[in-house]
Structure 1
Amino acid sequence: MPDNPSPLAIIVAAAVYMAVCAIWYAPRVLGNKWLSLIGKTRQELGSLWRPMILALLAALVLSYTLSLLIVAMEIDSFVEGILFGFLIGAGIFAAALAPIMAYEGRPRQLYTLYASNVVVGMMAMGAILAAWR
């Protein structure tokens, strides 16, 4: 088993994370609900190319960071990767996001939508990165 993360695995995992997000926020899935919760229309969002570039860069950073942790923890199976992705997504991201959303007075449904998207995305990335080892 290699001691270094695979660059190709990092790119593939980031692409899968982006796909999870694209499906999650598709209008027929949760996109319309998200717009309602943030009180905006699709037209009010304007052009999304800049946020998409930022999202891609963030997905690459997430994937790279998760891959470093997976290598350091010697996680090398699909199932362990899913569980580790869940642990990181729920135990770090969702836990850190909760008080922010509460202080801002945001709806719980919005918190759930954001947190569950990241948790599912991290689980998918964890599975890919661990199995690739």
Structure 2
Amino acid sequence: MSYNIWAILVAAVANNVIGALWYGKSFFGRTWMREVGLKESDMPTKFPVKPFAAAIVASLVLGVALAWANAAAGSASLLDGVVVGLIVGIGMGAAITAPHYAFAGRSLKLFLIDQGHSILVVVVMSAIIGLWR
């Protein structure tokens, strides 16, 4: 099974751009901070290298996993990639995470913000990979 490394890299970049927007102050950043109990003063004053490094590595791992899932599903179009992304994002990601949030006493609002991001990212990444196989 071969993978298109360019599709994986572009998908990983898309993941991080979406994350920056999604958790930015213009979208869900303030609400997310409130839901996790952070204040503006809790935010790092210098560039947080470790979280961003983790995000980049995770994006690349997710890209490879989605390339495999798209290949296994025989994806050959944007729509095929979207379907694979929805199955992975909702059927696996959100379904696995929901009990963790429930047992930890996290709010439904936080779950929807985090999983909305995860599902969107997985669908976009999978669509890029499915289209660019």
TM-score under structure 2 normalisation? 0.94
Give the length in aligned residue pairs: 131
Q: 2 CA distance for matches of 1:42 and 1:64?
A: 35
1:29 match: 27
TM-score under structure 1 normalisation? 0.94
RMSD of equivalent CA atoms: 1.0
Q: Which runs of 5+ in 1 are unaligned?
A: none
CA offsets per residue over residues 84-124 of structure 1, 9 Å max, x none?
Answer: 10110011010010000000000010011111100000110
The 3 A distance-change label for structure 1 pair 26 and 14 is same
Q: Which runs of 5+ in 2 are unaligned?
A: none
Following TM superposition, where does structure 1 have runs of at least 4 consecutive aligned residues deviating by more than 4 angstroms?
A: none
Letter in 2 for 1:33: T
Q: What pairs with 1:1-133 in structure 2 (closer than 5 Å)?
A: 3-46=1-44, 47=46, 48-133=48-133
Letter in 1 for 2:113: L
Identity across matched positions, percent: 28
Q: Is the Cα–Cα contact under 8 Å of residues 21 and 27 in structure 2 kept in the other structure? A: yes
Q: Is the Cα–Cα contact under 8 Å of residues 69 and 84 in structure 2 kept in the other structure? A: no
Letter in 2 for 1:101: Y
